[in-house]
Structure 1
Amino acid sequence: MKVKKTFPKILWLIFSSSIFFILLYFALFYYTKKAETQVYHSSIEQFDNEIQKLLEVNSKPILVAINNDTNWDEFVNFTKTKDRNWYNETIGNELEIYEADYLGAYDANKNFIIRTPTAKIKTIDFIPKKEMELLDKAGVNKFYMKIPEGIVEVTGASIHASNDPNKNKTPTSGYFFVVRLIDIKFIKNLEKLTDATILLLDTDVDVPSQKHKITSLYTLKDSNDKFVAKLLFKRNFEVYFENAINLLYVIIVAFIINLIVNLIYTRRLVYHPLDLVRRALETGNRKAIKELKKTTGEFSYIGNLFEENSNQKLELIKAKIKAEEGDRLKSSFLANLSHEIRTPMNAINGFTELILNTKISETEKLEYLNVIEKSGKNLVGIIDDLIEMSKIDSNQLTPNLTIINLDSLVTELYETVKVTVQNKDIDFKLIKSKNPAKFNIITDDIKLKQVIINLLTNAIKFTEKGSVSFGFEIDEAKELINFTVKDTGLGIDEDNHKYIFDRFKRVDSDISIKVGGLGLGLAISKAYIDLLGGSISLESKVGEGSTFYFSIPLEYSKTEHITVKPINNIEIIKTEEQTILIAEDDNINFLLFQKMMQHKNFKILRAINGQEAVDICINNPGIDLVLMDIKMPIMNGFEALEQIRPIRPALPIIAQTAYSSSDDKIKIEEAGFNGYITKPLNRDNLFELINKYLDKENYNEI
C-alpha cells in the first residue's frame, strides 16, 4: 500500500514538474523572442542614427567650403563683372577641393553665368529658379534632383559680401552651386564610409525586411520636398536564433534530470539565470551579462546577445566620437588652410596695390617687393605641401632608388642649410659619423633630402637661441642607417607627442602661430620614411628642446664612392647674340621671361603652343636653346619634345613647369629633357641652366 500510495505521488510530482517546466519553457521562449526583437529593433535604430550622422559628416566639408567661398568680396564682384579668368583661376580650380562633379554660378537675377564640370556632366544649366528663391531666405540648402546624367546632390548658397551683417535679409549678389553625381564612385565612397551595402532606388516603395540584415532608408528629396529617390543601406545582422528551440529542449532534459536528482538545483539552473536576464534587460548590467555568458544552454546564448548589443552601442559611440573628432580636425584644418593661403595673398595684393597706386621711395619699393617675393614663396610652399599630401593619400608615390654617397649628401645639406641660419643666434653643427658608410648606398635621395630638410627647418624655426645639430650612424648588425636631428628649442609637450605626425593636427603655440604653415611637414616626412621602409620617433621636453630619430634600411651598392661637387656662384657668360625659343602660352609668364632676359644678348622667339614650337624648331636651324612649357594647348611639351628630338637631337630643350614634386622631376628626366626649371621662376636658376647649355664646348661634353 505504501508503494501504491507513494507511486501516485511520484507520478504527480513528475506531472506537476512537467507542467511547471512547460510553463518555464514557454517563458524562456518568450524571453528569447523578446530579446531577439529588442536587439533587432535596437540595431536598426542605431543603424539609422549612424547613417544620419555619417551622411552629415560626408556633407560637412562641402558646407564649410561653400560658406567660405560665398562670403567673399571678390566673388560678389565676379557676379557683376563676370570675369571668367578670375573664376577659372580661383573658384573653377576647386573641383577637387569640393570632391564635386559640377560647380555653377548665377547672378542676382538668377541668370546662369558659368560652370565648371567634370566629364561626367554635360548638362549646362539645370538649377531650378525656385531653389534660388529659397536661398534668398535660407542662405544655404542641400537638395537632390534628376538630370539627364542621373540623380545629383546639389548644395547651393547665396553670395554675399564678407561684411554683410544681415546675409539672409539683404538682397543676394548671386548664387553658387556644388553638384555631386550619385554614380557608382559616389556610392562606393559612401559604402566605405558607412561600412554598408547601398542600393539606389528610384521608386517610393517599402522595402521588406530580410533575415540577418538590418536596413536603413534615406530619402532624397528635391527643393520642393518631393521624392526623387531613396538610398537603401544594408548591413549584416550577426545575431542568430536558429538553435534556440534545440537548446531549450536540451535545457528541458537537463532540468528533468536535475529535478529528479536534486530539486535544490532548480534555483541555480533557472531562477538565477532568469534574474540575470532581468537585470541585463532592465539596466544593461555588464556584470550580469558576464555571469549570464558563463551559464549553460540558452542562457549563455542570451548573454552573447546582450553582449553583442552592448558592444554595438559602444562601437556606435566610438564611431560617433571618431567622426566628430575627424570632422572637427578637418574643419580646423580647412580654416587654418584658408588663413595660411589668404595671409600671403593679402600681403601680395596689398603691397602690389601700394606700389601701383601710392608714391613711395625706392627704399620702400624694395622693401615691399621683398615682402611680395617672400609671400609668394610661402604660398608656393603651402601649395607644394598640399599636392604632396594629396599624392600620399592617393598612394601615388613610389620610391625612386638611386646610388648615392651618404657622406657627401649630408655634407651638401649642411652647407645649404647653414646659409639660412647666419642671421640667427644658433650653433648649427654637423655631427661626423663614427661609423661611416663603407660603400655608396641605394635609396631615394630626393625623399631622404626632403625629410632631413623638413626636420632641420622645424628645428631652426622653433629654436630662437641655442644649437641645432644632425648626423647619422651606420648599424650594420641591424642593416639600418640611423639619423638624428637635435635642437635646444621650444620643445613639445608630452601630451602632444602622439599627434605630432598627424596631417590634420598642428601643435599650436605662440611660436608656431608666428612662423605659420599648415603643419604638414612632419606628416609628409613620416610618409616618406614609411615609403622607404623605415621608422621615425621623437624625444622632447618643453623648454629643453627636441630630438627626432629616424631610420631607413641599409643597402650597399658595392661601387665606388660618388663625390658631390661644391655649389659655385653663378657667373653669367658673355656670348654673341644667341637665339632662344620660349614655348609659353601664358602672356604674363612670357613677359616675365622677356624682362629677365632683356639685358642679355639673346634673340627671343615665342611659340604659344606645342605645335608652333615644333614648326619653329624645324624651320629655324639657328635656334640655340628651347624653354618648353609642359602644359600648353594643341600639343603639350612632352608631345612637342617627341617630334623635335629626332630632327634636332643636339638642341638643348629645358622644361619649364608648375609641377615641382620628385615624381614630376623623374618623369621630365625620363622624357629626354636636358633640364627643367619650376615656376615661380628663379632668375639665378634660370641663367645657371641657360649658361650650362649655351656654353657649347661644355655642353658637348655633357
Structure 2
Amino acid sequence: MRLTLKLTTYFKMLLLIIGICSLFLLLFLSLYLYVGQQEKDVFKVNSNQYKTEVSKLFDFNSKTQVVTINDLTYWDSLVKFTKTKDTVWYNTHIVNEFPTYEVDYIAIYGLDKKNIAHTSNPNFKSNNFIPVQAMMHLYKKKFSKFYMRIPEGVVEVFGGTIHASNDPKKVKSKPAGYMFMARILNQKYFKNLEDMCSSKIKFLDKKVIPHNIGNKKVTSIIELRDADNLVVTKLFFERPSHLNFEKTKELLLIIVIATLISLISAIHYFRKWVYKPLKLVTTILESDREISIYQLKKEPGEFGYIGNLFEDHRKNRSQLEKSKEKAEESDKLKSTFLANLSHEIRTPMNAIIGFSDLLLDEKLSDEFKKKYLKIINSSGKSLVSIIEDLIEMSKIEAKQIAPKFKGVNIEKCLNELFNTLKVTIPDDKNIRFYQQESNFKLTNDILTDEIKLKQVIINLLTNAIKFTENGHVAFGYSVFSDQKFLEFRVEDTGIGIVKKDLNVIFDRFRRVEDDYSISLSGLGLGLSISKAYVEMLGGEITVESVFGGGSVFKFTIPLRYDVTVHEDDESLPIMAFNDTEGKTILVAEDDNINFLLLKTILQKKKHTVLRAKNGQEVVDINASNPNIDLIFMDIKMPVMDGYEAFEIIKKETPERIVIAQTAHSSAEVKERILKAGFSGYITKPLDKEKIFELINKTFQNNVIS
C-alpha cells in the first residue's frame, strides 16, 4: 500500500515536474521568439533611419556645386560671353578659376545648343557629351542635376540656364545659353561620401542585395537617373548595424537547460530573475523610459545585456538625430556663408571693375577721375580686409596661431587706439567718442600679446561705430587686483542686439540679420576672431545688449606684470634725413603686374630699377652688380624662395640692404622675416607712401649704424 502511495506521489511529482518544465520551456521559447522579433524591429528602425540619413547626406554632398552653378549662371559677364565668345575672358574667369569649382568638366552652350567653350581636367577626355534632350529639359527647369555614362565612367552633371544678374529667378525669361558642370564618380568622390556617412559605397547595376539582418548590416540604394529620368546605375550603401542579439539567444538557451536541471531553484528565483526583468523589457518597449533601461542594465545575466542593447539603441538613435540636425545646420550655415561671401566679394569687385571701366573714357574730367580712383582704392582695401579675415579664421581653426607675450603699456596702447580710430568716424554720424577713466592707473607694463589685444579692441570699437548713428561710443578698462585680471569694456548707444541673437553672435559666419545690418558689409568673422584671441590670451568675452538701447562688450585678460628690465638705447643720435632718391634697386618679383607697380612707384623718386624673376636670378644679379643699393625680395618665388636667396646674398655681400615683400600679413610671418635678418618688410597690396617711408628709414638706420 505504501509502495503504491509512494509511486502515486512520485508519479504526481513527475507530472508536476514535466508540467512545470513544459511551462518553462514554453515561456523561454516565447522569450526567444520575442527577442528575435525585437531584433528585427530594431533593425528595421535603424535601416529606415539609415536610408533617411544617406539620402540627406547624398544631397548635401552636391551642395557646393549646386551653389556654384546657381551663382555663375546669373553673371552678366557670362551672358556677354555667350555672344562675344571672348576666349581671353573665358580663360581668365573660367579656366583660371576652374580648380576652385571642384568639378572635372565645365561646358558652355549657346541657345542653339552648340558648344561654345569647355574646360576639363587632364584625365577627362570626353567632350561635347551633353545630350540635346538635356538642354531641352533644362530650358524649362532652369536648373537640373542628372547622371550619365561616358568612357571615363559615371558622371554627375549639373546644368543651369544663363541669365543676367537682374533677371529674377522666378520669371520664365529667355536664357542666353546653357552652362554644365560635371564630376566623375571616382575613388575621391566615393571616399568623401563614405567619410560623410560612415559607409561602404559601390555601384549596383544588376544584382540587388536584399535588406536582411543576417549579415548585421543596414543598406540603402540610391538610383542615379539621366536627364530623361531613366536609371543609369545605382549606388549601394552599406554600414554595420551594430546589433548583436546572438549572445542573448545563446543565454536564453542556457537558461532553458539550467531550468531543466535546477527546476526547484528556478521556481524560487523566478520572480526575481525573470518576472521583474521581463516587466522592465515590456515597459521599455512600450514607453522607452530611460529609468527602466537603467534598472534593466543592473539586472544580472542576460537581461543586463539586453539593457545594454536597449541603451546602445537609444544612443544610436540620439546620435543619428544629432547628426541629422548637425548636417542640416551645417548645410544651412554653409549655404548662407557662401551666398554672403559671394555678395561681399562681388560688391567691392563690382566697384573696382565698374569704375576702372569708366576711367577708360578719355572725356572724363580730372575731378571725376580722382573721385573714381578713391572709390577703387577704398573697394580694394575692403576686399583685402575680407580676405585677411578669412585667412585669419582659417589659421585659428587650424591652430596655427599662438600668442606672443611681452610687456605692454596699457595706457599708451589705448591712447594710440583712441587717436587712430577717432579720425575714422564718419562726419555724418553724431557720435561722442571717448575713453573712460580707469579705477586704477597701471604704472607697470602688463604681460600680454599687444597685437591681438589691439585687434580685439579695434574689432569691438569698429562694430560699435558701425552700428551707432547718435549718442556715444566709449571704451576703457578696470583693474581687479584681488582676482588678478583686467576687464576691458566697449559700450555704445547703437541699435543693440535682439535677445535671441546674443547666443550666436560669437559663432563663425553668423550675422545678426535685420533691416539695418543687411545694408552693412561683413562676413560675420570679426567677433569670432575676437573671441578666439581673448581665449588665447587666457580670458573670456561677454556681451550685454538691449535692442534699441545699445550694447556693452566686456572681455578679460590675466593681470600679470612684466618684470623684464628694459634699458633705453640713447646711443643713437637723432638725424634728419631727406627723401632718398637716385638709388639702384633690384626688385625680385616673378609677377609682371606686381613688378610694374613697384617699378612705377620707385621711379617716382628717380631710382634705377633692376629686375629678377626668381630667387636664383637675384643671387646672380647681386653677385655681378656691386652698385646695387637695395633689394626688394619677394618671399615666394620659383626656383629658390626669398629666404634661401637672402641667406646666400648675406654670405656674399653682408652689407647689402634687403627688404622683404610678402602677400602674408600675419604676425607670425612678420616675426619670421625680422628674425631671418631682413632690414624691413612690406606687405601687399603695396602702398607708395609706406614704401618711401620704409626706404628712407632703412637708409637712415644704415647710415647711423
Same fold (TM over 0.5): yes
Equivalent position of 1:471 in the other structure = 476
Question: Hey, what does 2:129 align to over in structure 1?
Answer: 129
Which residue of structure 2 aligns with residue 568 of structure 1? none
The corresponding residue for 2:30 is 27
Partner residue in 1 for 2:449: 444
Q: Superposition pairs for residues 10-49 of structure 1, below 5 Å?
A: 12-49=15-52
Match of 1:161 among 160, 163, 171: 163
* C-alpha distance after superposition, 1:391-445 (max 9, x if no partner): 2233333334445444433332222222223734333233454445565444433
- Residue by residue, what CA displacement relative to the aligned partner does 1:84-108 show, whole Å, maximum 9, x if unpaired? 5764466634645x4x375644555
Query: Contact 2:46–2:218 (CA<8 Å) still a contact in 1?
Result: no
1:690 aligns with 2:695: yes
Letter in 2 for 1:30: L
Q: 1:159 to 1:572 in 2, by over 3 A?
A: farther
Comparing 302-311 with 416-425, which one deviates more in the overlay?
A: 302-311
Aligned residue type for 1:489 = G
- Letter matched to residue 489 of structure 2: T
Could you tell me how far apart the structure 2 residues matched to 1:200 and 1:673 are? 56
Could you report, residue by residue, the CA deviation over 1:92-142 in whole angstroms, capped at 9, with x for unpaired residues?
A: 34645x4x3756445554476444x5xxxx425345714686356344435
**2:226 and 2:232 in contact (8 A); partners too:** no
Q: Is the 8 A contact 2:203 2:235 kept in 1?
A: yes
For residues 113 and 431 of structure 1, the distance between their equivalents in structure 2, rounded to whole angstroms, comes to 62
**In the alignment, what sits opposite 1:520?**
525
Q: Are positions 1:60 and 2:63 aligned together? A: yes
Output the amino acid matched with 1:498.
Answer: N
Question: 8 Å contact 1:247–1:297 — kept in the other structure?
Answer: no
Give the corresponding residue for 2:542: 537
Q: Deviations over 1:15-36 (max 9, x none)?
A: 4333333222211111011111
Q: Does residue 365 of the first structure (1) align with residue 393 of the second (2)? A: no
Q: Does 1:602 align with 2:607?
A: yes
Is 2:553 the partner of 1:548?
Answer: yes
> Shift in Å at residue 76 of structure 1?
4.3
Amino acid of the structure 2 residue aligned with 1:335? A
SS of corresponding position for 1:242: helix
Q: Distance in 1 between matches of 2:269 and 2:103?
A: 75
Q: 1:279 to 1:655 in 2, by over 3 A?
A: same
1:581-660 mapped onto 2 (5 Å cutoff): 581-597=586-602, 599-660=604-665
Task: Name the structure 1 match of 2:417.
Answer: 413
Structure 2 match to 1:327: 331
Q: Letter of the aligned partner of 2:396 in structure 1?
A: I
Tell me how far apart the structure 2 counterparts of residues 417 and 156 of structure 1 sit (CA, whole Å). Answer: 48
- Structure 2 equivalent of residue 385 of structure 1: 389
Identical residues among aligned pairs (%): 40
Whether the 8 Å CA contact 1:201–1:232 is kept in 2: the answer is: no
Is 2:145 the partner of 1:141? yes
Amino acid at match of 1:157: G
The AA in structure 2 aligned to 1:65 is T
1:623-662 per-residue CA deviation (whole Å, 9 max, x = no partner) reads: 3223333444555444443443333333332233332233
Partner Cα separation in structure 2 for residue 67 and residue 243 of structure 1 = 54
Name the TM-score, length of structure 1 as normaliser.
Answer: 0.82
What SS does structure 2 have at the residue aligned with 1:507? coil
Q: Given the alignment of the two structures, is residue 234 of structure 1 paired with residue 239 of structure 2, yes or no?
A: yes
Amino acid in the other structure paired with 1:129: F
* 1:128-277 → structure 2 map (5 Å cutoff): 129-130=129-130, 134=134, 137-138=137-138, 139-141=143-145, 143=147, 154-158=156-160, 160-162=162-164, 163=167, 173=177, 175-177=179-181, 179=183, 182-183=186-187, 190=193, 192-194=195-197, 196=198, 198=200, 213-216=216-219, 233-235=238-240, 237=242, 239-247=244-252, 250=255, 253=259, 270=275
How many residue pairs align between the two structures? 681
> In the TM superposition, what whole-angstrom CA distance separates every residue of 1:468-505 from its partner, at most 9, and x where no partner exists?
23333455555544332222322212211110111122
Distance 1:203 1:552, change over 3 A: farther
Query: 1:394 and 1:556 mapped to 2: Cα distance?
Result: 30
Displacement of 1:454 in angstroms is: 1.0
Of stretches 137-146 and 666-675 in structure 1, the one that deviates more from structure 2 is 137-146
Shift in CA distance, 129/187, structure 1 to aligned 2, threshold 3 Å: closer
Q: The residue matched to 1:573 in structure 2 has which SS?
A: coil
* Matched letter for residue 335 of structure 2: S
2:702 aligned residue: 699
SS where residue 577 of structure 1 aligns?
A: coil
SS at match of 1:623: coil
Q: Distance in 2 between matches of 1:575 and 1:283?
A: 85
Instruction: Specify the SS of the correspondent of 1:492.
Output: coil
Distance 1:293 1:430 in 2: 62
**Other structure's SS at 1:421 match:** coil
Tell me the distance in 2 between the aligned counterparts of 1:188 and 1:436: 59
Moved more, 582-591 or 53-62: 582-591
How far did 1:177 drift?
A: 2.9
User: 1:32 touches 1:302 (CA, 8 Å); kept in 2?
Assistant: no
Gaps of 5+ in 2: 571-575
Deviation sequence 1:182-227 (CA, Å, 0-9, x none): 557x666545533x25466799767798978534356796969787
Task: Please tell me the residue identity of whatever aligns with 1:27.
Answer: S
- SS of the residue aligned with 1:416? helix
Q: Which moved more, 1:283-292 or 1:72-81?
A: 283-292
For each residue in 1:289-335, what CA deviation from the matched residue of structure 2 results, as whole angstroms up to 9, or x when unmatched? 78877888766655654554444334323322222122112111111
Change (3 A) 1:130 1:375: closer
Which range moves more in the overlay, 426-435 or 212-221? 212-221
Query: Aligned pair in 2 of structure 1 residues 451, 261: CA closer, same or farther (>3 Å)?
Result: closer
Deviates more, 1:139-148 or 1:236-245: 139-148
After TM superposition, the score normalised by the length of structure 2 is 0.81
Q: 1:492 touches 1:546 (CA, 8 Å); kept in 2?
A: yes
State the partner residue of 1:665: 670
**The residue matched to 2:360 in structure 1 has which SS?**
helix
Deviations 1:241-297 (A, max 9, x none): 40444357658859965996799x69x965x87677667657767788788778887
Quote the Cα distance in structure 2 between the aligned partners of 1:442 and 1:355: 51
1:307–1:51 Cα change, 3 Å: same
